[in-house]
Amino acid sequence: MTIANLIDVLTPALDEGYGVAGLVVLGWEDACAFVAAAEDLRCPVILQAGPGCRTHTPISVLGPMFRALAEQSQVPVVCHIDHATTISECQAGIDYGFTSVMIDGSRLHLAENIALTASMKEIAHPHGVSVEAEIGFVGYDEGALSLPTKPEEAAELVKQACPDALAISVGNVHLQTSADTVIDKVALAAIEEVVNCPLVLHGASGIKAADRGWLASNSKVCKFNVGTELRQAFGTSLRNVLDSDAHLFDRNQILSAVKPALIEQTKKVLKSIDARKA
């Protein structure tokens, strides 16, 4: 049984200077592909059910699905709820077997974010469930603008609420379809001066592979969330498969053919943040 939480996979990653990928899952096929890629490379992986995934499929289905994959896997797999804004959403995740939650108080005032994160940790830890928080705000491509993380606020949140991982905003942006993000390394260093916990970059699809590698080896960033890049790989592969044979109609046949390209792209993502695997 290789089911894990963020503490299990991020503690050695931070110590040894490699990254662990938080991969955005939308269904069974991509979740299987992500675990297959991690098994091929013998590295841990974090499967993430975000708001879009939870809208599409009930959490009562996702929890057992994620757990089944984790329990049968040859590598540590974290079953993570991404961007939950309420304790009740996280509690539902815990009830259905998730091993990790992100309580996203990034839109709240600092004191409220700290109180929410601390309460979540109190509820989660007795169940062996880890907690990720966010400070500052990571914006969205063609959507809400980012608010950079203030080091003093990050320090205060970590001191008072002690999350197991902290998502920060240092130039990273969600939903980027090309890798042209410039990470503010000065801002990152200022946060690292005052915060001693694993850091998370959401929006890592927008960060060049070489920059991800540098960050994994040289900073406290050790969780890299990747969604868009792999959704693009899935969409491209699906289009190619359907274009290759006008008579294809069976879902299982189509999605089995889509999977190898998704596994290959996932392996590229995993290698980009773990120099031992490159």
Query: Given phi > 0 = left and psi -120 to 50 = alpha, else beta, which region is 106?
Result: alpha
Residue 82 a catalytic site member: yes
Tell me whether residue 121 or residue 202 sits nearer to Zn ion (CB atom).
202
Is residue 102 within 8 A of residue 163, CB to CB? The reply is no
Tell me whether residue 202 or residue 267 sits nearer to Zn ion (CB atom).
202
Strand partners, 102: 132
Tell me whether residue 34 or residue 241 sits nearer to Zn ion (CB atom).
34
Query: Given phi > 0 = left and psi -120 to 50 = alpha, else beta, which region is 162?
Result: left
Rounded-to-integer distance, Cα 79 and Cα 66, Å: 6
Applying CB under 5 A, the site for Zn ion has a residue count of: 1
Stretch that binds Zn ion, among 114-122, 202-210, 243-251, 270-278 (CB under 5 A): 202-210
CA–CA distances in Å: residue 76 to residues 107, 249, 261: 32, 35, 23
Given 8, 30, 40, 82, the catalytic residue: 82
Query: CB 269 → Zn ion: shortest distance, Å?
Result: 16
In three-state secondary structure terms, 259 is helix
Instruction: Find how far residue 257's CA is from the centre of its chain.
Output: 26
Stretch that binds Zn ion, among 11-19, 152-160, 196-204, 207-215 (CB under 5 A): 196-204
54 in contact with Zn ion (CB under 5 A)? no
231 in contact with Zn ion (CB under 5 A)? no
HSE-up (13 A, CA, CB side) for residue 11: 9
Tell me whether residue 54 or residue 202 sits nearer to Zn ion (CB atom).
202
Rounded-to-integer distance, Cα 123 and Cα 52, Å: 24
Stretch that binds Zn ion, among 16-24, 55-63, 68-76, 198-206 (CB under 5 A): 198-206
For the chain, the C-alpha Rg in angstroms (whole number) is: 18
202 in contact with Zn ion (CB under 5 A)? yes
Q: How many helices (H) and strands (E) in the chain?
A: 11, 9
Tell me whether residue 12 or residue 51 sits nearer to Zn ion (CB atom).
51
Which H, E and C letters describe 82-101, residue by residue?
Answer: EEECCHHHHHHHHHCCCCEE
The 8-class DSSP code of residue 172 comes to -
Tell me whether residue 41 or residue 81 sits nearer to Zn ion (CB atom).
81
Stretch that binds Zn ion, among 66-74, 179-187, 201-209, 228-236 (CB under 5 A): 201-209
| Interface ranges with Zn ion (CB under 5 A) | 202
Catalytic positions, please?
Answer: 82
